[in-house]
Structures are given as C-alpha cells and as structure tokens.
Amino acid sequence: MSAEKISVLLLLAVIGSHAAPNASECDGLTKRLPTKDLNKIFSNWVLVWGVSDREEAIDMLPNVSSSHVEFKLLPDNKTFSYIERNMFNHNLSSCTTYFIHMTVPSNIETELQTLHADNIRLEKGRQPVEYNDTGAVDFYESCSDCLLLVYKSSRFRYLLSYKEEGSHRDVEQHKAAHDDHRKLAECLGFPKKKPYVYDRVADFCHKKSAPEANPDNQS
Ligand SMILES: *[C@@H]1O[C@H](CO)[C@@H](O)[C@H](O)[C@H]1NC(C)=O
Ligand SMILES: *[C@@H]1O[C@H](CO)[C@@H](O)[C@H](O)[C@H]1NC(C)=O
Ligand SMILES: *[C@@H]1O[C@H](CO)[C@@H](O)[C@H](O)[C@H]1NC(C)=O
Ligand SMILES: *[C@@H]1O[C@H](CO)[C@@H](O)[C@H](O)[C@H]1NC(C)=O
Ligand SMILES: *[C@@H]1O[C@H](CO)[C@@H](O)[C@H](O)[C@H]1NC(C)=O
C-alpha cells in the first residue's frame, strides 16, 4: 500500500473518530440508570475521566490529582450519603471533602429521576467551610464496575466517569473508552475541552490508592 493511501486512511480514521454523534447515537449513549439499579451506586469510586461546562472548573481540572466518591445507604434505607474527596496538586492539605445527603427515590419510575441534595457540607483541609450551593445528580447507565453521572450545581455541570475502587489501577486509558465519554459529553451539550484523566496512581485524601498500602483495609 502506498504511503499516500495509508495517510488518507489515517486521515479518515481521525475524521471518523471525531465526528459529532448523531441523534440516534446520542439516544443510545444517554440512557439513564433504571431506578431498580440504584443499589449499584452504593460503593467506593475513583474518578477516571471528567469534563465541565464552566471555564473556572475546566481550568481547575488539571490540578486535580484524585477524586474519590463514596455512596453509602444509611440504616434507615431512605437516605444515602455521598462523600466526595478531592486532592489537588498531590497536596494532602489541599483536600476538599463534600458531605452530601440524598433521599432514596420512593417512586419506581422506569429510569432514575434527577436526585437533589438534601444538604451539603464542605470541609477544606478538615476545616468546615461555608457552602450554600445546590447539588443534583443524574446517573447514567454504564459498564458493570463503572459509574457515570452528571453533577449539577447552580453554576456548573460536570460529567464524571468513575471506576470502582479496586479496579481503578487497571482502568482503560484507551482512546476507545474516552471516545465514548467524549461523545456522551457532546450529546449532553458540554463544550469540547481537554478532560481530566486519572493517572492511575495518585493517592486519595483519606487513603492510599494502592490496596496493599491500606493494611487495615477500612473504607
Ligand atoms: C448515526 O451514526 C451511526 C454511527 O456512525 C451510524 O451507524 C448511523 O447510521 C447514523 N444514523 C443516522 C440516522 O444518521
Ligand atoms: C493549579 O495549580 C497551579 C500550581 O499550584 C496554580 O498556579 C494554579 O493557580 C492552579 N489553577 C487553578 C485554576 O486553581
Ligand atoms: C433496610 O433494608 C435491609 C435490607 O433490605 C433490611 O434488612 C433492614 O431491616 C432495612 N432497615 C430498615 C430500617 O428498614
Ligand atoms: C498545600 O495546600 C495548602 C492548602 O491549600 C497550601 O496552603 C500549601 O501551600 C500547599 N502546599 C504546597 C507545597 O503547595
Ligand atoms: C451563597 O453565598 C454567597 C456568598 O456568601 C452569595 O453571594 C450567594 O448569593 C449565595 N447563594 C445562594 C444560592 O444562596
């Protein structure tokens, strides 16, 4: 095959992978999590890919070294906690933790409706910080040990893709997975910007990222 033909094929491949998703592709990608599958979220998650729709948030993404999320059903079975711990520039003192409470939906719709935060508490470097913004989440269908959600405050939206803690070190850094995320982002109206991508090794605010480095294995 001539070099010219090869470069045409490569060019086509590049154009193909960057084509905007059409409406039917978007329908396939934007499937919300069914309410009956809400149990799937109750675990520990590591952010592996993320984008935002606001310039300030986009500028901050490269400084995020890790973001860990824990969803836990509370004993009343009616509420769950949503704890997000973010570390910036590999600096433990920079850790920012959001403690959010949400209500388990009681209606069994075919898909999960937007869930709203009942309250949000924020700590920076273990000190409480005043926080008065709203928070809401849309969960999307994803692979079996993955979590895909859109977090909405009054000012920002984030599209966030998580891998279950434990398999976060063998995350697919491959273009194919990122292409699907990028397409979903486009379908949901996010600007085309460089995403956050986890480096697979950065530690979390409350524990090491390598499982063998957490001997007591508490979570
Ligand atoms: C949408 O794009 C997909 C994948 O590129 C293609 O297979 C499908 O035929 C397209 N559908 C429409 C309605 O254009
Ligand atoms: C990101 O971190 C760098 C280096 O610490 C800092 O100079 C910069 O202001 C940070 N950017 C944002 C948006 O916080
Ligand atoms: C919550 O659900 C679990 C498992 O379904 C059940 O064993 C437990 O009794 C429930 N607790 C309450 C307070 O309803
Ligand atoms: C770590 O973060 C804290 C809190 O944001 C900051 O005061 C400190 O200067 C940072 N340390 C380094 C080495 O950047
Ligand atoms: C939150 O507090 C800030 C500053 O204290 C204020 O400007 C803003 O209007 C408040 N937002 C809401 C939603 O109450």
Query: Is the predicted pLDDT of residue 90 greater than 60, yes or no?
Result: yes
Residue 131 CA, ligand 5 centroid: distance in Å: 8
Query: Is the predicted pLDDT of residue 148 greater than 50, yes or no?
Result: yes
Closest residue by Cα to residue 29 from 195, 177, 135: 177
Sequence-ordered list of residues with C-beta below 8 angstroms from that of 63, at least 6 positions apart, any chain: 88, 89
The mean per-residue pLDDT over the stretch 139-144 comes to: 89
Q: Residue for token digits 């926080």?
A: 131
Phi and psi, residue 37, nearest 5°: -95, 10
Q: Is 110 in the pocket of ligand 5 (CB under 6 A)?
A: no
pLDDT > 90: percent of the chain = 70
Q: Which amino acid is at 128?
A: P
Residue 37 CA, ligand 1 centroid: distance in Å: 29
pLDDT of residue 1: 52
Mean pLDDT of the chain: 88
Please name the residue whose Cα sits nearest to atom 6 of ligand 2: 63
Please name the residue whose Cα sits nearest to atom 10 of ligand 5: 132
CB atoms within 10 A of CB 198: 23
Q: Which domains does the chain have, with CATH numbers?
A: 35-197 (2.40.128.20)
What atom of ligand 2 comes closest to residue 56's alpha carbon? 13
What atom of ligand 2 comes closest to residue 60's alpha carbon? 13
pLDDT of residue 210: 86
Judged by average pLDDT, the poorest of 41-55, 90-104, 176-190 is 176-190
pLDDT of residue 214: 65
d(CA 207, CA 209): 6
CB atoms within 10 A of CB 187: 19
d(CA 17, CA 29): 15
